Amino acid sequence: MNKSMLDVAIEVITNEGHSMSFMDLFNAVKAELGLDDEAANKRLGEFYTELTLDSHFVALTDNWWDLRVRHTYDKVHIDVADVYTDVDDNSSKDEEDLKEEQEFEAQISGSSSLGEDEIEDEDGEEKSSKDDSFDLL
């Protein structure tokens, strides 16, 4: 019976009894399955993706992995609202940057002296954007 890389990873982490770095886990799985370097390298990304998506595993800090059953929910759960709050806090602009941005936008929007119904032709001359060739009245 052929075992999947994830099945072998579960066995490896269970037998180790503790979390493992991704590369240590991958190398142990590679050895257990008898994969050569070329075959293993072709499956590296696939293994990482499957590990990330599989509910048996949990990603810890610094790309260390363990079985989810060994960790309580509050230790491994990341509240997405906190992540977005941090991003919002870190990306706020100071008043001077905001003022400069508003002035720049005002310059751009006010730089065109053409009216709504006017456009420039290829030579830079103004012409009406309305089509006067079909006056029905």
Give dist(CA 9, CA 40) in Å, integer: 14
Please answer whether residues 19 and 64 qualify as being in contact, where contact means their C-beta atoms are separated by less than 8 angstroms: yes
Give dist(CA 64, CA 57) in Å, integer: 10
DSSP state of 2: P
Give dist(CA 60, CA 79) in Å, integer: 15
| Lowest-pLDDT range of 17-26, 27-36, 64-73, 96-105 | 96-105
pLDDT given for residue 76 in this prediction: 58
Q: Is the pLDDT confidence value at 89 over 60?
A: no
Query: For 64-89, what is the mean pLDDT?
Result: 68
Instruction: Quick: pLDDT tens for 9-23.
Output: 999 999 999 999 999
